Amino acid sequence: MFSICMLEFYIIEVVNKMTKQMVKQNINFLEYPLWFQDERAAESSLSGMTWTDRDGYIYKCGYKPPVKIDGIFLLYLLLQSQKQNYAGKLTLTRYKMIKDCGKTISKVWYDRLEDSLERWKMVGILFEGTFYNGKAYKKINFGILDSWEIDEKTKKLTVRFSPKFLEMMCGKGFFKYINFTEFKQLDSPLAARLYEILSKNFHSRRFWEIDAFKLAEKIPLNKKYPAHIIPKIQSAVNRINKHTDLEIELSIRHKERGKAILIFTKHQTEKQAKITIKQPSFDAVIPDELTEVLQALPESKQKQTSIIEIVQKFYKEFGADYVIRNIKYTRKNAKKNFRPYLLKALKADWGIVIEEDEKEKILHAQLLKIKKKKEVQQVKSNQEEEAKNAELAKKAKDYIAHLSEQDLEKLREEALETLDPKIIDYLLTGSKSATGIGARVTLKAKMETIVKERLSFR
């Protein structure tokens, strides 16, 4: 009896926790992107970007466009606002926000949070005939955040939402609930974006189909052909099935050459919260990506069951890159007790430092490569210029050598007119001194310069 009561209590607690993690989302913001996939492109777009959907959704940002982590931060802020009856002004600590969003408490993430707030502050959205408000489509323009600030004394963060954005988020009828915990656990940006789209399109139905290219546009995904799009979408579906309560089946119907319809089917599941004890288990076939992760371990640790279990657990939750960078960090810093050190590193993501160092090294190498390339180009340019000048000087001398006496006199007169009076005095004296010789050399050089100018214009 005691165990049954404890089980019922546990289930109630799990349900309560899940309810507290559900964020109300207007379906328009699930259909159209609020954040983008390409983190590298976003980081390089310091002056912002404009993205337009063919249905009339215009997304403008005056700074770097938001990406997946920015989507997590925004969803967290919406969850806090929802808990406070959709408060437009929130005051909270950055420490708790970063921690609740599953990130390490470090200067890196404090800075990244501020960068994220600035990204959302600079976003403006225009719906032209596409925003569904429950009665009709209309045109509407709004921002996401009105302002954000950090108190100098308390260090607390204050965020103010755009009233219109918040009003739409608690709209009537046309919304879905997004599980914040599930969303942040989807390590793949593509899986997270597809999760949003499917959550909206499975509203009151179990089947949904769309042209592969149209789905790529909607995400957006920078792929043009079904052969490239389908594997990406299948991988994202697999991640959704693994990390969320959704159970999706993807099937393909080929219309004609170069075109495909993606059919998504949502299966009914009866997933219940249960207390289970998992025994160590390993897949019969280890995915290539996981094999690569395991190979990052020291050779002496690659067969240790306890370490493999840890690696598998964090690989499933955070993906290959996350685990590999923390293995690298542990290999570099753990003098002894490799397994506990690795576990701590994986929990706190200490390996982010390694990743940042590697990015810095890559950037440094790229800059050195560019510098070296420019130096080589400059040397080549100088050599070409010297060769060109030498060729021109030779032609000038040949030209002067073949002038008639009359033309030579005219050229000499033209050169004399441009010389300094002192040089002319030295020439008149006819001195064989150094100054006289130098004056004649100067005259000759001036004559050659005049001829080179004439030849270069031919």
In b/e form, how buried is each residue of 106-136, taking b as 16+ CB within 10 angstroms? eebbbebbebbbebbbbbbbbbbebbbbeee
Question: According to the model, what pLDDT value does residue 116 have?
Answer: 96
Render each residue's pLDDT in the chain as its tens digit; 458 residues: 333 334 443 443 444 444 568 888 887 788 888 899 888 888 888 888 998 876 678 899 999 999 999 999 999 999 999 889 889 999 999 999 999 999 999 999 999 999 999 999 999 998 876 566 555 556 788 999 999 999 999 999 999 999 989 888 875 556 778 889 989 989 899 999 999 899 888 866 788 889 999 999 888 888 778 889 999 999 999 999 998 888 999 999 887 788 899 999 988 765 533 433 343 344 434 456 788 888 889 988 888 888 988 998 888 888 888 898 899 999 989 888 899 999 998 988 888 877 777 777 787 888 888 888 888 889 888 898 888 888 888 888 888 888 888 888 888 888 888 888 888 888 777 667 788 788 888 888 888 888 888 887 76
Centre a 10 Å sphere on the Cβ of residue 326 and count the other Cβ atoms it contains: 28
Strand order, beta sheet including 89-92: 89-92, 157-161, 145-150
The Cα–Cα gap between 264 and 63 comes to: 35
**Of 153, 137, 253, 235, nearest to 194 (Cα)?**
235
Q: How far apart are CA 125 and CA 25, in angstroms?
A: 16
> Which amino acid is located at 33 in the chain?
P
Beta-carbon contacts of residue 155 (< 8 Å; ≥ 6 apart): 93, 94
Please report the pLDDT score of residue 13 as a whole number.
Answer: 40
Cα–Cα distance measured from residue 346 to residue 327, given in angstroms and rounded to the nearest whole number = 8
Measure the CA angle with vertex 97, ends 39 and 145; round to 5°.
Answer: 65
pLDDT score at 7: 40
Q: What is the per-residue pLDDT for 273?
A: 38
> What is the CB neighbour count within 10 angstroms for residue 240?
23
What are the phi and psi torsion angles at 44 (to 5°)? Answer: -90, -10
Strand-strand pairing, 207-211 and 259-266: antiparallel
Question: Is 186:177 a contact under the CB 8 Å cutoff?
Answer: no
Q: Looking at residue 239, what is its pLDDT? A: 93
Please give the C-alpha separations between residue 259 and each of 181, 227, 228, in angstroms, as whole numbers: 35, 9, 12
d(CA 244, CA 171): 25
**Of 312, 283, 284, 280, nearest in space to 297 by CA:** 312
pTM of the entire structure? 0.55
| Count of other CB atoms within 10 angstroms of residue 25 | 21
